[in-house]
Amino acid sequence: MRIIVHGGAGSGASLGGPTPERQAVLDAAASDGAAEATPLQAVVTAIRRLEADERFNAGRGGAVQSDGVVRVDAGLMTSDRTVGAVANVPGVEAAVDAARVVAAETPHVCVAGEHAAELAADFGVETGFDLTTERTRERFADADPPTGSPKAHLDWLRERFGRGGEHDHDTVGAVAGVEPRSTGSRSTAGGGRFAAATSTAGRWFALAGRVGDVPQVGAGFFCTPAGGASATGAGEDIARVTLARRAVDHLADGAAADRAAALAIDEFEELTGSTAGVIVCGPDGVGAARNSESMQVAVAERYRGSRNCP
């Protein structure tokens, strides 16, 4: 099992940029994921650790929308093209678990809002969380939040949305893969040879109800038999160019993982002039690229059985 994890492409300005504490959590998440039996279990386990840590913009401690509510998005996909996503969900810390419910239990690709929370609860995912923290409540209050209709909210956020600051791009994601083996082996068991997943609470000072790239297939996450990718950054621009799909397409064309990531980011920057990062797992290994100020990543591997020991 091989896994790469990211903690978001941004500055983390109020936390002093990339920190050893955040890196330690990412390292632990990657290690936890590498211990799992399948790529899908690996990415879900890794992301759950990040969603539970308020140092990251996913789950508790995430970005607050213009009405004062934290709403989460997540998506996952395996190389057999199993997909599940949730969008704009209140009160759920484990957004990736909710996305897995959609993939495993419904005929749908994405379920949104309170209905997604109710669905997740029916299948054992905890709901009803207050996803704000003292830090995020203070930041929102200091911004003189709006009242009134969506138009009034738009007037308020016009000079605020996407203008930088703590966690403004700090989505989390993971991509994992297993080495190929003979027919009937674990390489195709439990959802494919590769899996990718991404989770977020969106971006600060977004309109209530806003959904970014994360739960959109091909934008925030994508996976095929060629490999998988997870993207992070300016969500609207990522969605416009389907960044994660671009990285996987480069894998399918024969690029190594690090080259596939770099090519996708170069294309993204040329088309949008915006900032993002992407992590990739392919047959040759893992790779990452960004044009943002920072993107902390962690990589872990786990060998199973004597035939795979180095």
Task: For residue range 59-86, list pLDDT tens digits in order.
Answer: 999 999 999 999 999 999 999 999 999 9
Residues paired with residue 221 on neighbouring β-strands, in sequence order: 217, 230
148 belongs to an annotated ligand binding site: no
pLDDT tens digits, 87-117: 999 999 999 999 999 999 999 999 999 999 9
CA distance 147 to 113: 21
234 belongs to an annotated ligand binding site: yes
Annotation marks residue 171 as catalytic: yes
Residue 223 has pLDDT above 70, yes or no: yes
Mean pLDDT, rounded, for 298-303: 94
CA distances from 262 to 135, 276, 290 (A): 35, 11, 8
211 belongs to an annotated ligand binding site: yes
278 belongs to an annotated ligand binding site: no
Q: How many CB atoms lie within 10 A of CB 257?
A: 28
pLDDT tens digits, 125-145: 999 999 999 999 999 999 999
8 belongs to an annotated ligand binding site: no
Candidates 171, 198, 200, 242; catalytic one: 171
Task: List the 110-112 sheet strands across, edge first.
Answer: 110-112, 83-90, 71-78, 194-200, 172-177, 2-10, 294-301
Task: List the 276-282 sheet strands across, edge first.
Answer: 221-224, 227-233, 276-282, 285-290
Q: Where are the domains of the chain?
A: 2-178+190-301
Q: Assess if CATH 3.60.20.30 describes domain 2-178+190-301.
A: yes
Q: Give the pLDDT score at 65.
A: 94
CA distance 245 to 257: 13
